Amino acid sequence: MQITYRDKKYELKANITARDAIKKIGLDPESVLVVVNGKLVTDDVVLREGGEVKLVAVVSGGM
């Protein structure tokens, strides 16, 4: 399963929650939002193989 964060791709095993995936990548769940197949989801969602998973950094840009 591939997860994208700030244009970097991370390979993880599927069937874990987004929250666990975020922590495995070394990020804080408070600092990212989870978008699966283009839809915003909460971090308790279980990530399956084949889906497009993107983590959106919460701290970004200007004000």
Binding site residues, another protein, CB under 8 A: 28-33, 35, 39-44, 56-63
Burial pattern 5-24, b for ≥16 Cβ within 10 A else e, equals: beeeebeeeeebbbeebbee
CB of 15 to another protein, least distance (A): 18
CB of 2 to another protein, least distance (A): 19
C-beta closer to another protein: residue 2 or 43? 43
Please state, in angstroms and as integers, the Cα–Cα distance from residue 1 to each residue in 26, 37, 51, 63, following that order. Answer: 16, 13, 8, 33
CB of 41 to another protein, least distance (A): 7
